[in-house]
């Protein structure tokens, strides 16, 4: 069956897509939100943003577990925002999201490097994998065991390519909560402190002169408006060219979503091997199909996800492209529509991936050694003569 040929990273990508749609669509509705108090209120802007408390339902427990991460990310975001605002930088909240994204991605560089190395080594081992499949044709169990032993010998773990995808989901969820809650709340100061110590002194834009307290009538504490070439975008709300409501959901087209999908497509193509589509094995064919499917679906996120989340997504994807360029080069990015630029024709990555040499024959797995013996014997044994005339010749 073709489903059995799906790799761990492909399954992880599809699972990530489904979880993003389900969780973020659910969080778009009023209710409990990560990092915020689970008490239902008419509007999440009507009360100060407070740490979540653990409850019986899994959502509140999830929010409570990730509250420290929420606080750290919000502190970085607000700290950069205040710094840029104090020097009069335009689009301060947009650049603050970019800086926060770079900090997060810098922390997880080792995990993503391990993922890239694992994927690249898996591609480099494809000739040996095909040889194993040829040797054990008709015996799927032995072929699977031999392939696992081969990966083990070369230090390749299928889970290494899936771990960053698993990590990406909670980070994306927390970032969504930071943008949708932190940038829309009337007073998020409680989320800017640890053990009663205010880490970042926040000067809100909605202080009522008469009371000296934040006023909901004056809007949220943090100015989430991004002015870019005369276009104003609210980082905490969806930014669409046009939108239409379908069955309770809002479907819209966003320039940020289109840019994010295009960058994801570039990132996916760079991870493909340098082969022609007609010469691909089933795994690579499925990977090419997934590469087109996932960015296309992400375009429709623009109707209900805040613009700030797409800024995070775009920045993270650019960071991933740069990291891939240093480790795997251009990969399968070119030829593009039959065109291969000169700078990509003979490009060598700055930190190329190397394959560990195979172990000594005495330390190899028995199933791999047995397969090699069978192949060698099949190529050296003299074929038996056929027919009556051949048997007569041996009797004489």
60 in Cβ contact with 54 (< 8 Å): yes
Q: In this predicted structure, what is the pLDDT of residue 275?
A: 66
3-state secondary structure of 314: helix
Q: What percent of the chain has a predicted confidence (pLDDT) above 90? A: 28
Q: Is the pLDDT of residue 100 over 80?
A: yes
**Binning pLDDT at 50, 70 and 90, where does residue 250 land?**
low
pLDDT class for 7, splitting at 50, 70, 90? Answer: very low
Q: What is the predicted pLDDT for the residue at 36?
A: 46
C-alpha pair distances (Å), 266 with each of 7, 234, 260, 276, 291: 20, 27, 10, 17, 9
**Location of structure tokens 């800024």:** 311
What mean pLDDT do residues 22-41 have?
40
Residue 182 has what pLDDT? Answer: 92
CA 190 – CA 196 distance, rounded (Å): 9
More confident: 189 or 384: 189
Average confidence (pLDDT) over 348-362: 86
pLDDT tens for 307-349 read 999 999 999 999 999 999 999 999 888 888 888 898 888 888 9
The pLDDT tens digits for 281-314 are: 666 667 677 777 778 888 888 888 999 999 999 9
- Using only C-alpha atoms, the chain has a radius of gyration, in whole angstroms, of 28
- Those residues whose C-beta lies under 8 Å from the C-beta of residue 174, and which sit 6 or more positions away, are 34, 35, 66, 69, 70, 73
Predicted local distance difference test score (pLDDT) of residue 379: 46
Helix pair 109-124, 92-107: axis angle to 10 deg: 60
Q: What share of the chain is helix, strand, coil (3-state, %, to 5)?
A: 60, 5, 35
Look up tokens 């239409």; give the residue.
244
Q: With a cut of 70, say whether residue 389 has pLDDT above it.
A: no
d(C-alpha 269, C-alpha 272), whole Å: 5
Reported for 370-379, long-range contacts at CB under 8 A and 24+ positions apart, including other chains, are 371/132, 371/135, 371/136, 371/146, 374/135, 375/135
Average of per-residue pLDDT across 70-95 = 94
Write out the two tokens for 224.
């989430």
- Mean per-residue pLDDT of the chain: 79
Beta strands at 197-198 and 193-194: parallel, antiparallel or unpaired: antiparallel
Would you say 107 and 126 are in contact if contact means Cβ atoms under 8 Å apart?
A: no
User: Is the model's pLDDT at 236 over the cut of 90?
Assistant: yes
- What's the pLDDT score for residue 43? 41
Asked if pLDDT for residue 1 goes beyond 50, the answer is no
Q: How far apart are CA 131 and CA 138, in angstroms?
A: 13
Is pLDDT at 144 greater than 80 in this prediction? yes
Instruction: Give the model's pLDDT for residue 248.
Output: 67
Crossing angle of helices 92-107 and 67-86, in 10° steps, is 140
Taking the C-alpha atoms of residue 15 and residue 167, their distance in angstroms, rounded to an integer, is 12
Confidence of residue 73 (pLDDT cuts 50, 70, 90): very high
Predicted local confidence at residue 365, as pLDDT: 80
Q: 250: which residues sit within 8 A by CB, 6+ positions away?
A: 238, 243, 244, 303, 304
Place of tokens 């008469």: 210
Least confident of 157-171, 247-261, 310-324: 157-171
Give the mean pLDDT of 172-186: 92
Residue with tokens 């994801």: 264
């Amino acid at each position: 069956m073709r489903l059995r040929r799906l790799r761990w990273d492909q399954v992880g990508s599809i699972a990530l897509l489904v979880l993003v749609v389900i969780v973020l669509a659910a969080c778009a509705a009023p209710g409990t939100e990560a990092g915020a108090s689970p008490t239902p209120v008419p509007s999440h802007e009507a009360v100060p943003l407070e740490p979540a408390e653990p409850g019986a339902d899994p959502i509140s427990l999830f929010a409570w577990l990730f509250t420290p991460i929420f606080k750290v990310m919000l502190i970085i975001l607000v700290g950069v925002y205040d710094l840029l605002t104090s020097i009069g930088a335009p689009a301060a909240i947009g650049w603050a999201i970019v800086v926060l994204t770079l900090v997060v991605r810098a922390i997880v560089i080792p995990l993503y490097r391990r993922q890239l190395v694992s994927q690249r080594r898996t591609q480099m081992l494809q000739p040996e994998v095909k040889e194993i499949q040829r040797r054990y044709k008709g015996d799927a169990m032995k072929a699977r065991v031999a392939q696992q032993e081969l990966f083990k010998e070369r230090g390749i773990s299928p889970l290494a390519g899936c771990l960053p995808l698993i990590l990406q989901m909670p980070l994306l969820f927390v970032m969504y909560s930071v943008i949708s809650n932190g940038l829309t709340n009337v007073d998020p100061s409680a989320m800017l402190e640890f053990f009663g110590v205010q880490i970042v002194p926040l000067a809100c834009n909605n202080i009522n002169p008469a009371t000296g307290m934040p006023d909901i009538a004056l809007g949220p504490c943090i100015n989430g408006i991004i002015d870019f070439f005369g276009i104003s975008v609210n980082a905490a709300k969806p930014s669409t060219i046009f939108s239409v409501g379908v069955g309770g959901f809002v479907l819209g087209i966003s320039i940020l979503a289109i840019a994010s999908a295009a960058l994801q497509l570039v990132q996916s193509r760079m991870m493909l091997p340098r082969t022609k589509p007609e010469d691909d094995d089933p795994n690579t064919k499925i990977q090419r199909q997934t590469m087109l499917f996932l960015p296309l679906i992400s375009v429709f996120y623009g109707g209900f996800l805040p613009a700030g989340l797409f800024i995070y997504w775009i920045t993270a994807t650019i960071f991933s492209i740069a990291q891939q360029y240093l480790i795997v080069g251009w990969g399968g990015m070119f030829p593009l529509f039959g065109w291969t630029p000169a700078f990509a024709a003979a490009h060598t990555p700055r930190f190329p991936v190397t394959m560990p040499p195979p172990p000594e024959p005495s330390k190899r797995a028995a199933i791999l050694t047995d397969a090699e013996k069978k192949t060698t014997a099949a190529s050296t044994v003299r074929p038996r003569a056929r027919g009556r005339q051949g048997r007569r010749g041996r009797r004489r």
